[in-house]
Amino acid sequence: MAFTAMLLAIAAYLVPLLFVSAMPSFEGVTTWSSISNLVPGMSHLEGLGPASTQGEAAHIPFYMSIAAPRGLPGNLTMYRNKSPPLFYIHQNQLWHYHNESTILPVNVHNSTQAAGLPLQMIAETKPGGVPGGKWRWQGTMLFYENGPQNNQGLFYSCQDVNGLNGLFLFLQCSPPPSGCTPFTIHSFSSNRMTS
């Protein structure tokens, strides 16, 4: 009787271990920590500029983000975002990936009503904005071009005429607008596509 009780106690201890050792292992399978494998080239876009702390021990990066509640259209801007959104380029269009049902195009709009701020980046529900524009990568750096002109990879974080933060660009060399912070925008993803 004591021997049977001891065998049952040992069996009760060992049986769960057998199930744990029989659990499948999914090594090498995509996880949410590497979501960029779901859409090739998808990554957070980091801004490097004079306000950046790149290379410092307490580096808190600036990320391209949307000045709107998660998943909604809005002005693109740069700020220190602990949960930055994901972006990718497909067929020369920059896209913001929120989830499977919400993917927003990033459009460039003429904002000539804002003195010195000609083109503004806005995430919207449909592709639009200035016709003929194309997004591309040059190394890790994001570029916007329209015809023979491009922004040389330079973006400006500024307030628009309504006092809202936005991300702006020029298609020709210009001095930085007053009160704006210049940035270059980079994807440091190792599997970023170039088209």
**Predicted confidence (pLDDT) at residue 119 exceeds the cutoff of 80:** yes
Classify residue 108: in a domain, yes or no: yes
- Does residue 194 surpass a pLDDT of 50? no
| Helical (H) or strand (E) element with 38 | none
CATH of the domain at 136: 2.80.10
- 180: pLDDT strictly greater than 60: yes
DSSP class per residue in 140-189: TEEEEEETTEE-TT-EEEEE-TTS-EEEEE-SS--PPPTT-EEEEEE---
Cβ neighbours of 167 (radius 10 Å): 26
**Confidence (pLDDT) at 6:** 60
The pLDDT of residue 28: 42
Does 18 reside within a domain? no
Tell me the residue range of the domain where 87 lies: 42-186
Does a structural domain hold residue 57? yes
36 domain-assigned: no
| Per-residue confidence (pLDDT) for residue 27, from 0 to 100 | 43
Average pLDDT over residues 178-195: 78
Inside any domain, residue 89: yes
Does residue 1 lie in a domain region? Answer: no
Tokens (6 digits) for 157: 């974080």
Considering the chain, what percentage of its residues have pLDDT values greater than 90?
47
- Give the tens place of pLDDT for each residue, 76-94: 999 888 899 999 999 999 9
Q: Tell me, what's the pLDDT at 37?
A: 54
**48 part of a folded domain:** yes
pLDDT in tens, 24-78: 444 444 344 455 456 778 999 999 988 665 566 666 789 999 999 988 999 999 9
pLDDT for position 89: 96
Split into its structural domains, the chain has a count of 1
Residue 96 lies in a domain: yes
**Residue 130 and residue 168: Cα distance in Å, rounded?**
13
